Amino acid sequence: MAQLSQYVKGRSAENYLRDVCEAKGYAVIRSAQSKGSADLIAGDGIQVILLQAKAWDSKLAKLNKEEEGALMAKAKMFKAVPVFARKNQGRWEFLRLNETGYYPFVF
């Protein structure tokens, strides 16, 4: 089987995460082929989430400092929660980002 391109992997991950958010009651907008600060924007009428994802499987996956700053700045503008999603041993985990680090995020 041919290895999936990074774009296809990323798109698949974003679609999966969109479905997770929708199952939790959020309306979701996907930023296709995003090069910006968020892959998904999700809201449930109470809170807005700006979500950035890394599709590679590693508990070490993080955003670089530039990505962190951009995500937090946009989240502040929208009064949103900056969330980073990564795979860890085949399971997606959601982490809230703030100035001091990454913390578990629960919908």
Catalytic residues: 34
Report residue 106 as tokens: 């629960």
CA distance 75 to 83: 9
44's CB contacts (< 8 A; 6+ apart) are 24, 25, 26, 27
Q: Tell me, rounded to whole angstroms, the distance of Cα 75 from its chain centroid.
A: 12
How many residues make up the chain in this entry? 107
Asked whether 49 and 42 are in contact (CB, 8 A), the reply is yes
16 token code pair: 């999966």
